[in-house]
Structure 1
Amino acid sequence: MLGFQPYETFQLLIESGGVDRTNTLLIAACDAYARRGRPTNPEMEQFEALASRLFPIAGPQAKAKGAAILGRAETLSPTLEALVVANIGEDMGEFLQRSDEISEATLIEIIARGDVAAASMIAHRPDLSNVVLAKLFQMNSRKVYRALAANGAIAPRGAYLSALARSAQMDHIVAESLAERDDFDCALLAPAFFDLSDDHRIKVIKAFTNRQTPVAPIKKTIELLSVANQELTKALMKLFSENRRPEVTKLLSQISGLDEVRCGQIAHDVTGASLFVVLRAFGCSAYDGLKVLIHATSHDQERSRALADFATLFGNVTPESMAYLMSAWRGEVNLLDLAKPEYKAFTQTSRRTPMLAPAHNPVVEQAIEALARIGAKRAG
Structure 2
Amino acid sequence: MLGFQPYETFQLLIETGGVDRTNTLLIAACDAYARRGRPTPPEMEQFEALAGRLFPIAGSQAKAKGAAILGRAEMLSSALEQLVIDNIGEDLISFLASAKELSEPTMLEIIARYDVPAAATIAARPDLSNVVLAKLFQMNSRKVYRALASNIAIVPRGAYLSALARSAQMDHMVAEALAQRSDFDAALLAPAFFDLSDDHRIKVIRSFMQRATPPAPIRKTIEQLSVANQELTKALMKLFSENRRPEVTRLLSQITGLDEVRCGQIAHDVTGASLFVILRAFGCTAYDGLKVLIHATSHDNDRSRALADFATMFGNVTPESMAYLMSAWRGEVNLLELNKPEYKPFTETSRRTPSQLAPAHNPVVDQAIEALARIGARRAG
TM-score range, shorter chain: over 0.9
1:12 maps to which residue? 12
Q: Distance in 2 between matches of 1:108 and 1:232?
A: 58
Check if 1:148 corresponds to 2:148. Answer: yes
Structure 1 position 112, deviation (Å): 0.8
Check if 1:273 corresponds to 2:273. Answer: yes
Deviates more, 1:282-291 or 1:361-370: 361-370
1:92 maps to which residue? 92
Structure 1 position 258, deviation (Å): 0.2
AA of the residue aligned to 1:112 = A
Structure 1 position 33, deviation (Å): 0.6
Check if 1:369 corresponds to 2:353. Answer: no
Alignment of 1:315-354 (within 5 A): 315-347=315-347
2:174 maps to which residue? 174
1:358 maps to which residue? 359
Compared CA separation, residues 144 and 356, structure 1 to 2 (3 A): closer
Deviates more, 1:289-298 or 1:86-95: 86-95
1:214 maps to which residue? 214
Partner of 1:4, secondary structure, is coil
2:76 maps to which residue? 76
Structure 1 position 19, deviation (Å): 1.4
Q: Distance in 2 between matches of 1:376 and 1:217?
A: 38
Q: Distance in 2 between matches of 1:139 and 1:348?
A: 34
Q: Distance in 1 between matches of 2:181 and 2:97?
A: 22
AA of the residue aligned to 1:260 = E
Which ranges in structure 1 are unaligned for 5 or more consecutive residues?
A: none
Structure 1 position 375, deviation (Å): 2.6
Partner of 1:75, secondary structure, is coil
Check if 1:227 corresponds to 2:231. Answer: no
Structure 1 position 37, deviation (Å): 1.1
Q: Distance in 2 between matches of 1:283 and 1:365?
A: 22
Structure 1 position 278, deviation (Å): 0.2
Q: Distance in 1 between matches of 2:366 and 2:102?
A: 56
CA contact (8 A) 1:305 1:358 kept: no
CA contact (8 A) 2:312 2:357 kept: no
Q: Distance in 1 between matches of 2:320 and 2:185?
A: 18
**C-alpha distance after superposition, 1:147-182 (max 9, x if no partner):** 111111111111111111111111111111111110
AA of the residue aligned to 1:49 = A
Identity %: 85
CA contact (8 A) 2:27 2:65 kept: yes
**C-alpha distance after superposition, 1:296-321 (max 9, x if no partner):** 00011221111001000001000000
Compared CA separation, residues 348 and 109, structure 1 to 2 (3 A): closer
Structure 1 position 349, deviation (Å): 7.1
Check if 1:247 corresponds to 2:244. Answer: no
Q: Distance in 1 between matches of 2:155 and 2:127?
A: 12
1:3 maps to which residue? 3
CA contact (8 A) 2:312 2:360 kept: no
Compared CA separation, residues 349 and 76, structure 1 to 2 (3 A): closer
AA of the residue aligned to 1:147 = A
**C-alpha distance after superposition, 1:108-144 (max 9, x if no partner):** 1111111111111111111111111111111111111
TM-score relative to the length of structure 1: 0.97
Q: Distance in 1 between matches of 2:99 and 2:159?
A: 28
**C-alpha distance after superposition, 1:226-248 (max 9, x if no partner):** 31000000000010011110000
Which ranges in structure 2 are unaligned for 5 or more consecutive residues?
A: none
Structure 1 position 378, deviation (Å): 5.2
TM-score relative to the length of structure 2: 0.97
Check if 1:133 corresponds to 2:166. Answer: no
Root-mean-square deviation (Å)? 1.6
Q: Distance in 2 between matches of 1:312 and 1:298?
A: 19
CA contact (8 A) 1:213 1:320 kept: yes
**C-alpha distance after superposition, 1:303-343 (max 9, x if no partner):** 11110010000010000000000000001111111111111
2:105 maps to which residue? 105
Compared CA separation, residues 349 and 325, structure 1 to 2 (3 A): closer
**C-alpha distance after superposition, 1:169-224 (max 9, x if no partner):** 11111111111110010001111111111110000000000011010000000001
Alignment of 1:59-74 (within 5 A): 59-74=59-74
Partner of 1:300, secondary structure, is coil
1:165 maps to which residue? 165
Q: Distance in 2 between matches of 1:116 and 1:309?
A: 42
Q: Distance in 1 between matches of 2:236 and 2:302?
A: 22
Aligned residue pairs total 379
2:28 maps to which residue? 28
